Structure formats: C-alpha cells, structure tokens
C-alpha cells in the first residue's frame, strides 16, 4: 500500500474530462485506487465517484494505491495530476 | 336515441378528433414521469436483473448514437459529458452496488437505481457552485434514461389485451412502440391534428382524440372507454344504452368502409374527366399493406426519420438499402418519393440540444448539410435502391438555392462513388424539394433550374406563414388552413410551377381535408399525397366533384379576405356537392 499527496494545479480543476481520463488510466492497473479528500473516500476507478469529488484548483488530495502493480500505478497517476491533467 | 342525447351525461370528455374511427376498449394509462418510481417488492430477482442489464445496454446504445452524432457539432465539453455518461453505465463500482442491493433488498430495480444514483447527485447539489449543480444534472440525465428504459420494458409486458392508451403526450418513438402491441386508440391531454401522434394514428387507422384536458386525471386504468375519433369524444364507463348505440354505429361504419374500399381500383376522376393522382404518405413499414389495400397510386412522401425511432439508432447503409428496395418493389411500377431524414424541430432529434426556437432552428436539410456523412449515406442508399426506376429523391426544409446546390453536389459525389464501385443505379433519378418555408414558396421559379418537382408541406408552411406554433395551445387557434394568405400562397405556387412546367403536389394534412380538397383541385393541384386511411374517402369526394365548379369555388375563395367567410363558402360547397357523408351515419 502506498499513499501520496497531490495538488490540483490546472485552472479548471478535476472536471468531467480529466475525471474520465483518470478513471481510464486507473483501469489499466490491477491495484485498488482510492482518493481521499477531507474525510471523504472515493473509489478512483468509479467514474460516478470521481465526478462527485469536488476538487477545484489548489485542492489537496491523498491518493492510495494497493495491489501488485501499485508502484507503477502510483507513478503514472501522480504524474497525470502533476501535469495538470494535460491542461496547463 | 340520437347522437346528441348520447352525450348529455356527465361521463364524457371532449377533445380534438385527430384520427377517425370508433373503439371500445379498456384504458391503459401511460405515464412517463420519473416521480412515479414505485418502491415495490419483487419476487423474480433473475428477471429483474435481466431487465436491468437490458436497460443498461439500451441506454448505452442510445448514448453512443448521440455521441457519434455529437462529436463534430457540440464541442469538446459536451462530448466529454456523453463519454462520462457512457462510462457511468460501465462503472463496475456503481453497478456492483446496485446489483448487490437488488439481491439483498428485493425491491424494484428502478427504485434501487434511483436511490443509488441520487446519492451522488445530492453530494453535488449541496454545493454552491453552479458548475457542480450542472454536473448533478448530467448524472441525473443518465439516471432518468436508465429508469425510462426500465419502465419501457415493464409497460410493454403489461399490455396483454386490447387497450386505449391514455397519456399526457406521446412522442413519435412511443407511437412506434405502441404499434407493436394491441393498441385500439389514443387519448392525450396535449397535442393536436398535426402532431406526430395524430399523423401516425391516422395512417395506421387507429382512432385518436387528442388535446383532452385532464384526460389522465379523469380516466383511470381499466376504465371501459368509448373512443369516438370522428367527433372527438370519449365516454368513460358507458351504460348499456351507450354501448348498444356505439356497437350499432361501429357496424354501420364497417359497412360504410366496405363500400368505400370498392373504389380501390377506381381512379380519382372528376365528373368532367380530370384525373387526380392520390398518393400515400408512409411513416413506417407496417402501413405498407394498408396503403396498397386502400388503392394508393404511389407514395408521395416516405418519411425516413421514423427509421431512427424504430431502430433507435442511425440505420446503416445496408439497412437503408434493404428498406428502400423492399418498398420500391412492393409499389412497383408505381413511384415512391423518399424524403431524406427530417430530424429536428418538434421531431426526433438525436441530441440533447436545447434550442430556444427549435422550429426555427437546426432541422431538415440544415441538419443534414451539417452532417455530410449522414446525408451521403442516405443518398447512396437511395441511389443503390433505385434500380427499378420508381424512386424519387426529395429534401425537406429548403429555404435557399444554396442548400439545393450543396445537396446536388453531394448527390453527384455519391453517383461518382457508385459508378466507381460498379454499382448500377437509376441515372435519371428525379430530385425534388419540399416547399414548407415561406422563402421557398417565393422562389419556385429559381428552384426550378435545379429540381424536377415540388411538394408542398402544408403543416409547416401554414405555421411559418402565420407565425403560429401549432403545438402552442395559447395561439394554435390562429393556425388556420383557410386563412386567405394560405390560399393565395398555394395558388401562387401552383401558377409559378405551371409557368416553368414542373409538377407540384401537396403532401400536408390539408391534402386529406375533405373541405380543402375542392379548393386544391380548383387552383390546379393534380396530385395529392395523404395518410393511407383517407384515400378511399378522398376518391369518393373527387368522383363527386366537377373540376369547373371547383375552379369557380377557388376563384371565389381567393377573392375573399376573411377566413370565416372562406370557411362557410367551402363548407357549403362541400355539402352541396358531396353526398353520403360519414356524418349521415350519426343523424
């Protein structure tokens, strides 16, 4: 199990398009993927969950990965957050 | 007992007589509102699961259809919303939760779907940000779509015997679905003569009374109803006397229809020898035997947009070819005029686009020219099916020569493609346009340089000329077929078309209006296209008319400036010239 703190950096925040891409990205991995925000826990592989995650620019989130390929999953997904979902 | 005594009691409702005929059957209330979700215990869990899976698949299919069409027009933002909606339907986390609850709680699937998805909406709705509320609506859309598809499956299985459908309103898609079950009539609270429910009911010869206020609150499920589509009246739970009266009338009507049907192979010819061609409008394949049986001389208007409704998807080229060929062969050697998809306006639009003025918006040929793939697929399919040389091609909602030239360019491209692939087709296929926009009615001479024929669509033309929305109850009394401006416009168009030697026909509801027919013939229309059910009666009317008298009537009407005067002139003419009216049965 790995935990990693990330920050939303793009202006539009985690809106529908990056939410869809995030779910598609996490689906590539076997590991479980959860997102925590202020006591709220979301399954990162569930689009409807991620869509309800209110995350504007500047919001801090904790990502949790658990499974055989957790390291690779963490690296790719954290990178996606750091790239501002390719909207910078 | 006479007809009026029948209606002195309190158990009656009145509305617009939208499709002729009489039915006696039990009521089936068709409500689509999502609020009516029932939290019912279920017994057969496997069946509920199966229904849920089917509803999910159907919803996905619908969304993909929207998605495919939406890509180039709606921009990236809405595109990603559609994509996310499809993903929600594949969200394993959500689906697991729903199916698990279904098994544990044994409650109706629509209740669980509603309850489970609403949770997510509530999280977003509690936010103050507008864009998050919007996102809650996007999630709500998918929930409603899923529930609608779940319910659609259920009501279909609920109709087991003959019923009269009672609803607030009926969409074209609903009407098509109902034709697959035993529907004996339609009653709606909203909608009028030219609504699509009315058009389809007429063409399938199913009685309908529309615009009946409070229909859904006054009529209960399983009430026995007498539906009188001739007078626009309904009797709820009739007494024996009323039943006997109507049973007798149904017999007389059948007799009358049998007399009329004998005119099947007779020509529609006036007493002074002018022959009028009577074609049928066709919406769905089911009508085909009916229109042949009623003696149509061809199909003047094949509305292809019903394809969307039947298939709930865009039909591919192969499917279209099969469909057009089948109809072409069934009618051979008579001709059929295929109109390209008229999507938009108040008709089925495969997007969730909200236009402020859909009737003045993105519809007909405008929509098709913005979707060249859709248009070209249809052109190729029509060409491909045209080998019998009895197919004509027509486009809807033309407002300028530019649209005609653009369409012709696509036709030429398609012809080239077919030649390149060695696919034979009718090189001489005739190309025509619908005249339903006022600008088009003024440009007939200009259009004639590019087209082979014209077809006047009166339903839209009237509402555009009078700037009156036929679906708006506040102003729809202004929608007048016999407005002097309408009569003059029609006369002008016929004269313009005659001056350039191009055929002109009429295919709106007006073509089958018994009062309008003498006028239309009088101004020189020699070809009428109408719902198949009206054909025998129209033939009968025409065989009673003298062309010369019709000409005089037309001339008189064109000189009048008041629609009430015109109407009484036209009604008197009808009474003087046509005997054995259906009204005599109810004397």
Q: B192-223, pLDDT tens digit by residue?
A: 776 767 877 887 788 999 988 889 999 998 99
Joined tokens for residue B464: 């555009």
Residue B573: half-sphere exposure toward Cβ, Cα within 13 Å: 28
Question: Active site residue: B323, B414, B483, B507, which one?
Answer: B507
pLDDT tens digits, B484-525:
999 999 999 999 999 999 999 999 889 999 999 999 999 999
Residues of B in Cβ contact (< 8 Å) with A23: 87
Q: What share of chain A is helix, strand, coil (3-state, %, to 5)?
A: 40, 25, 35
Rounded Cα distance, B267 and B466, in Å = 35
The owner of tokens 């925590």 is A36
> Are the C-beta atoms of residues B437 and B404 closer than 8 Å to each other?
no
* Residue A1 in this model has a pLDDT that exceeds 70: yes
Calculate the CA B438 to chain-centre distance.
Answer: 22
Q: Active site includes B557?
A: no
> How many other CB atoms are found less than 10 A from the CB of residue B424?
11
Q: Name the residue ranges covered by the structural domains of chain B.
A: 5-31+168-249, 35-158
| Low-confidence residues of chain B: pLDDT under 50 | 34
pLDDT on residue A9 = 93
Count chain A–chain B contacts defined by CB atoms under 8 A. 54
Rounded Cα distance, B82 and B438, in Å = 37
Q: Pick B80's closest partner by Cβ from A17, A23, A48.
A: A17
Closest Cα in chain A, distance from residue B118 (Å): 11
What does each C-alpha distance from B428 to B214, B255, B299, B392 come to in angstroms?
53, 45, 19, 9
**pTM of this prediction?**
0.71
Rounded Cα distance, B40 and B105, in Å = 10
Rounded Cα distance, B385 and B21, in Å = 36
| Strand-pair category, B12-14 with B233-236 | antiparallel
Residues of B in Cβ contact (< 8 Å) with A15: 131
What does the mean pLDDT of chain A come to? 92
Q: Give the orientation angle of helix B401-420 with respect to helix B372-384, to 10 degrees.
A: 60
Rounded Cα distance, B466 and B472, in Å = 13
> Which is nearest to B583 in space by CA: B532, B537, B550, B529?
B537
**SS3 of residue B208 by DSSP:** strand
> For the domain B35-158, what is the CATH code?
1.10.274.10
> How many other CB atoms are found less than 10 A from the CB of residue B500?
14
Q: Which residues, 6 or more positions from B388, have their beta carbon under 8 angstroms from its beta carbon? A: B328, B329, B332, B333, B426
- Shortest CA distance from B121: residue in chain A: A52
DSSP conformation class of B340 = P
> For the domain A2-86, what is the CATH code?
3.30.1340.10
Joined tokens for residue B42: 């279920």
Q: Is B128 on the interface with A (CB under 8 A)?
A: no
pLDDT on residue B245 = 92
Q: Active site includes B196?
A: yes
The owner of tokens 């020509």 is B267
Joined tokens for residue B180: 């697959």
The mean pLDDT value for A18-47 works out to 92
State the complex-level ipTM: 0.91
> Are the C-beta atoms of residues B564 and B320 closer than 8 Å to each other?
no
> Which is nearest to B281 in space by CA: B26, B533, B97?
B533
pLDDT tens digits, B227-253:
999 888 999 999 999 999 999 999 998
Q: Which residues, 6 or more positions from B107, have their beta carbon under 8 angstroms from its beta carbon? A: B39, B40, B41, B42, B101
> Are the C-beta atoms of residues B393 and B411 closer than 8 Å to each other?
yes
Rounded Cα distance, B467 and B484, in Å = 14
pLDDT on residue B313 = 63
Give the CA radius of gyration of chain A. Answer: 11
Question: Active site residue: A15, A43, A59, A76, which one?
Answer: A15
- Shortest CA distance from A18: residue in chain B: B80
> Are the C-beta atoms of residues B374 and B407 closer than 8 Å to each other?
no
pLDDT tens digits, B297-342:
999 999 998 766 655 567 788 889 999 999 999 999 999 999 999 8
Closest Cα in chain A, distance from residue B134 (Å): 11
Q: Where are the beta strands (DSSP E) in A1-88?
A: 2-7, 32-37, 40-43, 60-66
Q: Which residues, 6 or more positions from B396, have their beta carbon under 8 angstroms from its beta carbon? A: B339, B340, B342, B364, B365, B434, B436, B457
Closest Cα in chain A, distance from residue B119 (Å): 10
Residues of A in Cβ contact (< 8 Å) with B91: 46-49
> Are the C-beta atoms of residues B213 and B236 closer than 8 Å to each other?
no
Joined tokens for residue B395: 């486009």
Asked if the B5-31+168-249 domain carries CATH number 3.20.190.10, the reply is no
**SS3 of residue B331 by DSSP:** helix
């Amino acid at each position: 199990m790995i935990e990693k703190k990330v920050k939303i950096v793009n202006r539009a925040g985690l809106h529908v398009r990056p939410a869809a891409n995030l779910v598609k990205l996490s689906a590539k991995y076997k590991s479980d993927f959860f997102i925590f925000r202020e006591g709220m826990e979301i399954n990162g592989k569930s689009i409807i969950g991620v869509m309800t995650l209110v995350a504007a620019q500047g919001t801090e989130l904790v990502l949790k990965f658990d499974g055989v390929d957790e390291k690779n999953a963490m690296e790719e997904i954290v990178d996606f957050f750091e790239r501002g979902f390719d909207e910078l | 007992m006479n007809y009026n005594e029948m209606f002195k009691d309190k158990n009656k409702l009145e509305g617009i007589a939208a499709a002729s005929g009489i039915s006696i059957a039990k009521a089936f209330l068709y409500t689509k509102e999502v609020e009516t979700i029932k939290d019912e215990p279920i017994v057969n869990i496997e069946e509920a699961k199966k229904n849920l899976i089917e509803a999910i698949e159907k919803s996905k299919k619908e969304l993909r259809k929207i998605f495919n069409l939406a890509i180039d027009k709606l921009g990236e933002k809405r595109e990603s919303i559609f994509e996310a909606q499809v993903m929600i339907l594949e969200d394993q986390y959500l689906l697991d939760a729903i199916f698990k609850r279904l098994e544990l709680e044994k409650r109706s699937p629509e209740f669980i779907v509603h309850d489970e998805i609403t949770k997510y909406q509530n999280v977003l709705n509690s936010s103050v940000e507008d864009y998050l509320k919007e996102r809650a609506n996007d999630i709500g859309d998918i929930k409603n779509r899923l529930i609608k598809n779940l319910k659609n499956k259920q009501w279909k299985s609920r109709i087991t015997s003959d019923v009269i459908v009672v609803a607030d309103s009926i969409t074209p898609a609903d009407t098509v679905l109902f034709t697959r079950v035993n529907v004996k009539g339609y009653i709606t609270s909203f909608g009028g003569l030219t609504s699509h429910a009315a058009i389809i009911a007429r063409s399938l010869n199913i009685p309908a009374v529309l615009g009946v206020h409070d229909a859904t609150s006054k009529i209960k499920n399983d009430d026995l109803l007498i539906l009188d589509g001739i007078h626009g009246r309904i009797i709820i739970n009739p007494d024996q006397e009323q039943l006997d009266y109507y049973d007798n009338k149904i017999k007389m009507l059948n007799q009358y229809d049998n007399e009329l049907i004998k005119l099947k192979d007779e020509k529609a010819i006036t007493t002074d020898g002018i022959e009028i061609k009577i074609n049928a409008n066709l919406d769905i394949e089911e009508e085909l035997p009916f229109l042949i049986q009623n003696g149509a001389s061809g199909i003047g208007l094949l509305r292809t947009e019903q394809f969307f409704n039947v298939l709930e998807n865009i039909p591919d080229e192969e499917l279209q070819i099969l469909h057009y060929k089948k109809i072409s062969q069934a009618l051979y050697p008579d001709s059929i005029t295929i109109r390209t998809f008229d999507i938009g306006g108040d008709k089925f639009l495969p997007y969730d686009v909200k236009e402020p003025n859909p009737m003045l918006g993105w519809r007909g040929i405008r929509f098709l020219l913005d979707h060249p793939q859709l248009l070209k697929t249809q052109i190729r399919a029509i060409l491909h099916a045209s080998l019998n040389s009895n197919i004509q091609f027509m486009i809807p909602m033309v407002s300028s020569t530019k649209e005609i030239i653009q369409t012709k360019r696509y036709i030429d491209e398609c012809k080239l493609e077919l030649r390149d692939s060695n696919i034979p087709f009718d090189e001489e296929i005739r190309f025509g346009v619908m005249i339903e926009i006022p600008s088009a009615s003024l440009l007939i001479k200009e259009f004639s340089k590019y087209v082979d024929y014209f077809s006047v669509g009166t339903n839209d033309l009237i509402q555009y000329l009078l700037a009156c929305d036929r679906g708006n109850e506040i102003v729809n009394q202004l929608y007048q077929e016999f407005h002097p401006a309408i009569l003059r416009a029609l006369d002008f168009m016929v004269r313009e078309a005659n001056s350039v030697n191009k055929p002109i026909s009429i295919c709106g509801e007006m073509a089958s209006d018994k009062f309008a027919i003498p006028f239309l013939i009088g101004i020189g229309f020699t070809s009428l296209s109408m719902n198949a059910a009206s054909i025998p009666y129209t033939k009968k009317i025409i065989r009673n008319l003298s062309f010369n008298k019709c000409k005089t009537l037309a001339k008189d009407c064109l000189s009048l400036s008041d629609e009430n005067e015109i109407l009484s002139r036209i009604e008197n003419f009808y009474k003087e010239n046509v005997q054995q009216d259906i009204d005599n049965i109810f004397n």
